[in-house]
Amino acid sequence: MNASADDGPIAPNGTPWWELTIQPDTRNKPFGQERRLAAWLWYNKDIGDIFTMNELRNALGEDIVGRSEHLNRRLRTLRQVAWIIWSYKDDASLRPDEYRLQAKGARYWLAEDRQAHRRFAPSARVRREVIDRDGGRCVICGIAAGETYPGEPSNIARLTIGHRVPQERLRTRGTADDIENWRTECARCNEPVRDELPDPRQYDEVLAQIRRLGRGHKRTLLSWLQQGERTRSEVDRAYDLARTLTRNEQIDLITYLQTSSASSS
């Protein structure tokens, strides 16, 4: 039996994928914990379900009991292959030991899925380059990392890298993926359901709408495009910098601003 075919939660040797320690069809090649974790989440949790650190420990075995950072590294690996997993840092309603499954990504326990995503996964350097190029904000909704969504004070935005044209669509066309197809997106706008959306608008479609703008609006748009970002005031930029501080440093800054505002009034 081909170990790369997805025949459900049971591996070719009759064992659930998440209980394997040796790769199928091999004698002693280890079956990585990221693969076991992905399989366990895929078959045991639905989108929106909450799971805990203890559940992960039980799923992966007693050899990692108490090693939370070890498990967090495994979760980070899955996030690099299109899994969206929120922690208390993304949603204040979650406890420090809780996670919420927002979207399922690559079936990491299957060799074909794992290799396909590895070919297209941007490096940390490229991710930083794309985010810097896009002004540190989601190109779809405009939110920045650490900001909360309007009307949702408990949901904190996290930036990631998305694609203008989905990877699978590029593969079917025999087109190579590159940095021009990558863009900064928040985790919400990066939901996999977007793979079902049509291709982005073409130049002629965008130009037709821009031609309807008044002269002043066209000048403003020209300025933004030349700068590579929408013009932000000095206060906007100061706010972006302030958001990078720790919470204690932000509290100190709030105290300073309160004192400064009172003394100048």
How distant, in Å, are the alpha carbons of 20, 176, 198, 240, 260 from that of 76?
21, 26, 29, 25, 42
The token pair that represents 178 in the structure block: 């590159």
**Spatial strand order in the sheet of 50-52:** 50-52, 98-103, 84-86
Spatial CA neighbour of 182 closest among 105, 117, 129: 129
CA–CA gap between residue 117 and residue 120 (Å, rounded): 5
Q: Which residue in this structure is represented by tokens 């064992």?
A: 15
CA–CA gap between residue 4 and residue 6 (Å, rounded): 6
CA-based angle 47:69:131, to the nearest 5?
65
CA–CA gap between residue 118 and residue 10 (Å, rounded): 24
pTM: 0.49
SS3 72: helix
Per-residue pLDDT of the chain (265 residues; tens, 9 = 90+): 334 445 689 888 888 998 888 888 777 888 888 888 899 999 999 999 999 988 888 877 765 544 566 677 788 888 777 788 888 888 888 888 899 998 888 888 888 777 766 655 677 788 888 898 888 888 888 888 888 887 788 888 889 888 877 766 665 565 666 777 888 988 888 765 444 455 566 788 888 889 999 998 888 889 888 876 667 778 877 887 787 677 788 888 988 888 887 776 5
